[in-house]
A and B are shown apart, each in its own frame.
Chain A
Amino acid sequence: MKTAAGSKRFDFVDVTLRDAHQCLWSTRMTTAMMTPILGAIDRAGYAYINILGGAVFDVCVRYLHENPWERVRLLCERLETPCDALTRGQSLYTFELFPDDIVELNSEVFAKLGVKVLTVYDALNDNRNVASSVRSGHAAGLKVNAMMTYTLSPVHTDAYYVARTKELVKLKADFIAIKDPTGLLTPERGRTLFPAVLKAAGGVPLKLHSHCQSGLAPEVYEIAIRSGFRYGYTASRPLANGASLPATEDIGARARKLGLRTSLDAAALREIAGYFTCVAEREGKPLGEVARYDAALYEHQIPGGMISNLRSQLQAMSMEHRLPEILEEAPRVRKDLGYPIVVSPFAQYIVTQATLNVVQGERYKTIPDEIRKYAMGYYGRLAAQPSDEFLERAAIRPADLVTERPGEHIKPWIPRLRKQLGPSVPDEDLLLAAFYPKPLLEPLKKRAPEYEFRTTPLNELIRFIGSRGDIEYARVRFAGTDMTFAA
């Protein structure tokens, strides 16, 4: 609905069930932690709820041993608010490229499971890599939200983003979003970038998705609201801030102060925040804290999810003390690699290469195969030419360079997979088989637990007490309830 001037709205996309725990809880929020509070999330007044992304899909399979499609199906069924699912374009959920037929089938499965919005981005901002998603998403009846990833480098100018916006308008994206995975946007940059992108978008509604590492995100959202953005991605307060996105509560208050209408329900937001704080306490997960401004962030640009993962990786290797050196090497590696945007999977490339360079004590002694392929243009156009030192150590010759659309060099997979898995294999299973080797899929066959679809504060108190190994006796009396537990 178009709104007249004077009654402008600002609306919200919830990321509590996706990016928020990706950044703060290493993506370890299980479906069972989500279901009790879905009713309140539905009442909170969000325009869309983002439920899936690359890391969520992957962690479901590898670590939580949950079938990600079952989660998507369940959340779409339970939530009346339209659900949004994010993919990495031609790479979908992984770090490899998939053929167009797999990307198309994925869009069809989304539509079948009840997803309403396909959000898609390419980590190189090479929009040739999102074209197959936009086309197949539309064919399946989905709205498509195309994201451009913001980064700081000598080549990522306002003009660069205006050019990308025009490409997305031409692709007929229903929404265009600016995605700032490392919280690098500043109010100053927003004042030039946002109006430029708004003008280039020619009426396509804009969304802002900015993380809070620098502490500036709420101010940046305010600039976006003033510039005419229609939506902001936000999280419930206990899972907001830090490496996550701003709190819905805070951005809602700012929007209203600027005279915009929102549909947020304060009581529902309080309930959601209380619930997730209890979950964090019970599960031993951290709460998001407002980050203090850190100038080094603008150098290393590593996304929050990566830092928490890298820290636990280094901890496992007893090398946590090398973290500062690695964060120092990261920007040098990035320059050598032609300024890739520091998001998955390229964030992993930079961090892994920087880790190898530091730990091995010699730069580029080992270069992962994917990084070599990236530098050859296999994944898409690079923002700038890699350094001579890198090209020499990687032994890349001009004849090795790839210029065609990445999807072009991959033959269709579905005929082979259908032959292998049988003609009656469900599309969901076929896709899982395309993404993962068989042994990884075995644990997904286990029965899902019985999910709770409602809860109360009393219930959460009891679950908290029950989670503690050190309490041998508990009695809770409240409003006619009298419960005793003994270990």
Chain B
Amino acid sequence: MRKDNLTYEDVLRIVELVKTTRFSEFRLKVGEIEVHLKRKNGAGGDPVVLHGQPASPGEAAAPARPTAERSFPAGAVLVRSPMVGTFYRAPAPGAEPFVEVGKHVDADSTVCIIEVMKLMNSIAAETRGVVTEILVPNGARVEPGDVLVVIEPDPEDG
């Protein structure tokens, strides 16, 4: 019987063969259908890798590991990222940054936000003092332990 319609079942069978066999050359003839394929390098052997890229998180985030191996002044307090996320300096796009270099902060002052899975985490200074450095660009991806902000603590009272 003459087959005049290639079905999805036929296609999926061919797809399966392409995926599971290690061929350098592939010929298939089923009824009216003929498929002839040649694989690069001809060697076969290599496991078949699909061309499609799996989706990965953080596609839009810029990589930034700015503080990996550097030293800081003695006595400086380092505000570190508690988690993987995206660093934001302001409560909303276009809003005033929480802090600038030279600004005085209290222990409960928010210095930045880290966004994790779309949730905003306010990061507090946890020290009274003056901001001396902001090490991460706005919108950068940060990892746990990355230094975000450096604070020079106020001298102890008395």
In B49-79, the 8 Å CB interface with A consists of 49-60
Q: A309-B57, A359-B144, A475-B35 are in contact. Are A278 and B15 (CB under 8 A)?
A: yes
* Cβ-defined contact, A471 with B119, below 8 A: no
* Cβ-defined contact, B56 with A471, below 8 A: no
Instruction: Flag the segment in B36-44, B98-106, B127-135, B150-158 that touches A.
Output: B36-44
B51 cross-chain contacts in A, Cβ below 8 A: 282, 284, 467-469
Tell me, in angstroms, the Cα distance from A285 to B55 when the chains sit together.
9
A312 cross-chain contacts in B, Cβ below 8 A: 55-57
* Cβ-defined contact, B118 with A487, below 8 A: no
A479 cross-chain contacts in B, Cβ below 8 A: 4-6, 32
Q: Which residue of A lies closest to B41 (CB)?
A: A470
* Cβ-defined contact, A464 with B11, below 8 A: yes
In the complex, B12 has a CB within 8 A of chain A: yes
* Cβ-defined contact, B50 with A274, below 8 A: no
In the complex, A403 has a CB within 8 A of chain B: no
Q: A274-B11, A312-B57 are in contact. Are A472 and B38 (CB under 8 A)?
A: yes
Tell me, in angstroms, the Cα distance from A360 to B57 when the chains sit together.
21
* Cβ-defined contact, A313 with B117, below 8 A: yes
Tell me, in angstroms, the Cα distance from A274 to B9 when the chains sit together.
7
* Cβ-defined contact, B93 with A368, below 8 A: no
Min CB distance B81 to A, Å, is: 10
B119 cross-chain contacts in A, Cβ below 8 A: 95, 348-349, 352, 368-371
With an 8 Å Cβ cutoff, the count of chain B residues facing the other chain is 51
Instruction: For B58, give its contact among A316, A352, A370, A473 (CB under 8 Å).
Output: A316
Instruction: For B8, give its contact among A63, A274, A472 (CB under 8 Å).
Output: A274
* Cβ-defined contact, B54 with A461, below 8 A: no
Instruction: For B37, give its contact among A313, A471, A477 (CB under 8 Å).
Output: A471
Q: A437-B93, A468-B50, A478-B32 are in contact. Are A366 and B121 (CB under 8 A)?
A: yes
Q: A457-B10, A457-B11 are in contact. Are A368 and B121 (CB under 8 A)?
A: yes
* Cβ-defined contact, B84 with A316, below 8 A: yes
A464 cross-chain contacts in B, Cβ below 8 A: 11, 15, 18
B33 cross-chain contacts in A, Cβ below 8 A: 476-478
Min CB distance B110 to A, Å, is: 9
- What is the 8 Å Cβ interface bit string for chain B, positions 3-27, against chain A (1 contact, 0 not)? 0111111111011001100000000
* Cβ-defined contact, A369 with B121, below 8 A: yes
Q: Which residue of B lies closest to A286 (CB)?
A: B54
In B118-144, the 8 Å CB interface with A consists of 118-122, 143-144
Instruction: For B116, give its contact among A345, A352, A456 (CB under 8 Å).
Output: A352
In the complex, B83 has a CB within 8 A of chain A: yes
- What is the 8 Å Cβ interface bit string for chain A, positions 161-176, against chain B (1 contact, 0 not)? 0000000000000000
Min CB distance B83 to A, Å, is: 6
* Cβ-defined contact, B117 with A458, below 8 A: no
* Cβ-defined contact, B55 with A28, below 8 A: yes
In the complex, B82 has a CB within 8 A of chain A: yes
Interface of B is mostly: loop
Q: A271-B8, A274-B11, A277-B12 are in contact. Are A475 and B93 (CB under 8 A)?
A: no
Q: Which residue of B lies closest to A466 (CB)?
A: B51
* Cβ-defined contact, B6 with A270, below 8 A: no
In the complex, A16 has a CB within 8 A of chain B: no
In the complex, A356 has a CB within 8 A of chain B: yes
A63 cross-chain contacts in B, Cβ below 8 A: 55, 59-60
* Cβ-defined contact, A472 with B39, below 8 A: yes
In the complex, A447 has a CB within 8 A of chain B: no
* Cβ-defined contact, A274 with B12, below 8 A: yes
Q: Which residue of A lies closest to B40 (CB)?
A: A472
Min CB distance B33 to A, Å, is: 5
* Cβ-defined contact, B82 with A456, below 8 A: no
Q: Which residue of A lies closest to B34 (CB)?
A: A477
Instruction: For A370, give its contact among B8, B40, B120 (CB under 8 Å).
Output: B120
In A250-292, the 8 Å CB interface with B consists of 270-271, 273-275, 277-278, 281-285
- What is the 8 Å Cβ interface bit string for chain A, positions 334-355, against chain B (1 contact, 0 not)? 0000000000010011011001
Q: Which residue of B lies closest to A94 (CB)?
A: B118
Tell me, in angstroms, the Cα distance from A283 to B51 when the chains sit together.
7
In the complex, A438 has a CB within 8 A of chain B: yes
Q: A351-B117, A368-B119 are in contact. Are A474 and B32 (CB under 8 A)?
A: no
Q: Which residue of A lies closest to B30 (CB)?
A: A478
Min CB distance A354 to B, Å, is: 11
B5 cross-chain contacts in A, Cβ below 8 A: 457, 479
In the complex, B92 has a CB within 8 A of chain A: yes
Tell me, in angstroms, the Cα distance from A285 to B121 when the chains sit together.
32
Min CB distance B140 to A, Å, is: 14
* Cβ-defined contact, A366 with B36, below 8 A: no
Instruction: For B14, give its contact among A282, A309, A365, A461 (CB under 8 Å).
Output: A461
* Cβ-defined contact, A439 with B93, below 8 A: yes
Tell me, in angstroms, the Cα distance from A457 to B8 when the chains sit together.
5
Instruction: For B53, give its contact among A271, A278, A284, A366 (CB under 8 Å).
Output: A284
Query: Which of A282, A348, A464: most chain B CB closer than 10 A?
Result: A464
* Cβ-defined contact, A366 with B8, below 8 A: no
Q: Which 3 A-B pairs have the closest CB atoms?
A: A274-B8, A284-B52, A437-B93
Instruction: List residues of chain A with CB under 8 Å of any chain B CB.
Output: 25-26, 28, 62-63, 95, 270-271, 273-275, 277-278, 281-285, 309, 312-313, 316-317, 345, 348-349, 351-352, 355-356, 359-360, 365-366, 368-371, 437-439, 456-458, 460-461, 464-465, 467-479, 487
Name 16 interchain pairs, CB-CB below 8 A, sorted by A. A63-B59, A63-B60, A281-B19, A282-B51, A316-B56, A316-B84, A317-B84, A345-B118, A365-B82, A437-B93, A467-B51, A468-B50, A469-B40, A469-B49, A474-B37, A476-B34
Q: With A274-B8, A352-B117 given, can you name 16 additional A-B contacts, CB distance below 8 Å?
A: A95-B118, A312-B55, A317-B143, A348-B117, A368-B121, A457-B10, A457-B11, A460-B8, A461-B15, A467-B52, A468-B18, A468-B50, A471-B40, A473-B37, A475-B36, A478-B34
